[in-house]
Amino acid sequence: MRFTLTSPNARKKAVWGRSMLLALLAALIAAPAAAQTSTTDVTAKFDDAVREAWSTGSFSRVIMKFATKEDRDRAAGELLNKGAAVRVLDDDETPSLNVFASPAAFGTVDYADRISYDAPVQVAAATAAPVRAKFVRGLGAKIAKANYNRPGTGVTVAVIDSGFKPHPDIAPARILKFKDFVTGGSAQVDGCGHGTHVAGIIGGSGLASDGDFSGVADETNLVVVRVLGDDCSGKTSDVIDALNWVYKNRNNYGGIRVVNLSLGHPIFEPSSSDPMVKAVQKLAEAGVVVVTAAGNMGVNPKTGKIGYGGVGVPCNAPRAICVGSGDTKNTDGFDDDRVADYSSRGPSRFDLLAKPDLVATGHKVISLSAPGSYLYNTYPALRVTGGYEGANTPAQYMTLSGTSMASPMAAGTAALMLGANPKLQVNTVKMIMQYTSRVMPGVDALSQGSGYLNALGATRLAAMINPKAKVGAYWLRRGSVPGVNEDMNGQTVKWGKRIIWGDRFIKGDAAYIHMSRWDDNIVWGMDALLDNIVWGNCAEGCENIVWGNYWDEFDNIVWGNVKIEDNIVWGDNIVWGNNIVWGFWAENIVWGFWDDNIVWGNVHKYSQDNIVWGNDWMDNIVWGNSNDDNIVWGNNIVWGMFSGQVLSGGVQ
């Protein structure tokens, strides 16, 4: 939705309205907290899913965090006495419990710091008709390996997924460790088949296909951590245990430098309190690049149209590299490349960060199969032979689609980059990967992030940088940043040279200088210089309505100028607070939870009446038409008129 100011009076009214909006914003933010604490203080510590379980009395599995181990142990004893199932999570820095009980039980532990839903995690993979193709087309990974002689040699990547089934394309000596958080076993297994496929994208040699289906970094070593069962699902608590295990073992197995997470769940709370995000952040702060899948929630299930705000956890972790799925249409040219419809778009719920960070090939990707697994047995049409299978030998490959396949493309690229320059920090890897990405024309930033992954460009720039250069100094080893390269098909790849920082782009020559924000002591997108600006600070005559520009070179991503090229407001898709409103006229739905739902739209194409989506807390928000009869009643906030009648208190 775009507002264009056409007269001085209209402009004054908008300025007055903005001031009123600022005053109301505090009420909007405070209302949910008041509603939560009106029942009991402990509910203020719940995420949305736990709050819903509390309201219905349903049993739920939760993760409880405490300030001290003493509090954790005290709570464990109290909960066990109430008949709850309790497990201590392996996290020394954040004492935590995994609890299965009724809300009446865990709700009495009012000294817990936070209570979060132990959400089921799912793979971010889908099925699609197979296409026999070299899936590294457009990445330039093969040229990067040849030119820099660094096919991931000496770099260890941890694959947190459904396990691994031995395959000819990954020699046994390259699997340095197999850790199973599902059964506790030691044998290499993959009852789902997803983890084997992901591992092949990162580091498969292509042995069984004469090199046709090789991975991105085919000499990497792998640590496989199983958290997903035979049905391709698992629990958040197991993923957290896996991340903490990697954290403790990051200096073992040759040094774990990269982690891939092609799994996730919806966002139920801000990233600052989400337990999986916190585990990702801790690992990244320790120097491990964490690559995540954006998720496959890019299509509004109500209308079947592309929508926004579907990115999940842990994609919303500020330090993570969140990857969406690109579709090459199985052609060598770039002109038809696009973001797959199913690929989740940003911004992230609560934090409103621009995600994904970039996209990579994820549609119809051929990689390793795990014969006998769920995916292999359920989708026989997706099996692909590599050319060496005999009459009685199962197919060694299969085709899958999804951001699950895009994420390991970027993880493998990170391995190439670290092979070329082992001293790179996590933030530097992310910056380089974004800076060298190829921007797809006509695709908005919340769909493609900084652009399409360019493995050759990323490896090339990584090799040029001198990480030991002083902060503020030019840090390229030799020459200048080229800005272009050629992919494996000889096509020119122009670097986008744009970096997402929080909710805006940093453009220009930002990669040339060793800035402090490229070091790991800065949380990505959160430094003091570029704190998120909600209402902008544009000068006289600027027509920014919601989000404005900080400086000319820092373009905002979520809301920009009235200039068409700067606005990313996708027709009738509205970003407001924690909610994404999809659809138009009578088809508006809210992608949100509980008492933070706000709908801004029309109930009918010939009417200026607004729809109210609220709940029993009496915090419904009505944002009305252009009339000046602005009224506030208690928690109900009314802006304008509704069907020509003034709303009176209470839920309408």
Annotated catalytic residues are 161, 194, 404
> Strands, E, within 535-629: which ranges?
574-576, 579-582, 589-591, 621-623
Per-residue buried b or exposed e for 13-30, using 16+ beta carbons within 10 Å of the residue's own CB: eeeebeeebeebeeebee
For 387: left if phi > 0, alpha if psi spans -120 to 50, otherwise beta; the answer is left
Q: CA 370, CA 389: separation in Å to the nearest integer?
A: 14
Rounded to 5 degrees, what are φ and ψ at 438?
-95, 120
Q: Do 503 and 526 contact (CB within 8 A), yes or no? A: no
Instruction: Give the other-Cβ count within 10 Å of 603's Cβ.
Output: 16
Q: CA 605, CA 433: separation in Å to the nearest integer?
A: 44
Angle between helices 275-285 and 236-248 (to 10 degrees): 20
Angle between helices 403-420 and 194-203 (to 10 degrees): 30
Per-residue buried b or exposed e for 81-95, using 16+ beta carbons within 10 Å of the residue's own CB: ebebebeebebeebb
The DSSP result for 490-526, as a single string, is S-EEE---EEEETTEEEESSGGGB--GGGSTTS-TT-
Q: CA 584, CA 307: separation in Å to the nearest integer?
A: 12
Collapsing DSSP to helix, strand or coil, 171 comes out as coil
Question: CA–CA distance from 15 to each of 73, 210, 564 (Å)?
Answer: 54, 66, 21
Whole-angstrom distance between the N-terminal and C-terminal Cα of the chain? Answer: 25
Per-residue buried b or exposed e for 212-234, using 16+ beta carbons within 10 Å of the residue's own CB: bbbbbbbbbbbbbbbbbbeebbb
Q: Do 49 and 106 contact (CB within 8 A), yes or no? A: no
Q: Do 175 and 204 contact (CB within 8 A), yes or no? A: no
Peptide bond into 172 cis (omega under 30): no
Question: CA–CA distance from 287 to each of 201, 392, 427, 470 (Å)?
Answer: 23, 46, 9, 19
Q: CA 455, CA 495: separation in Å to the nearest integer?
A: 11
Question: What tokens appear for 579 in the block?
Answer: 């909610």
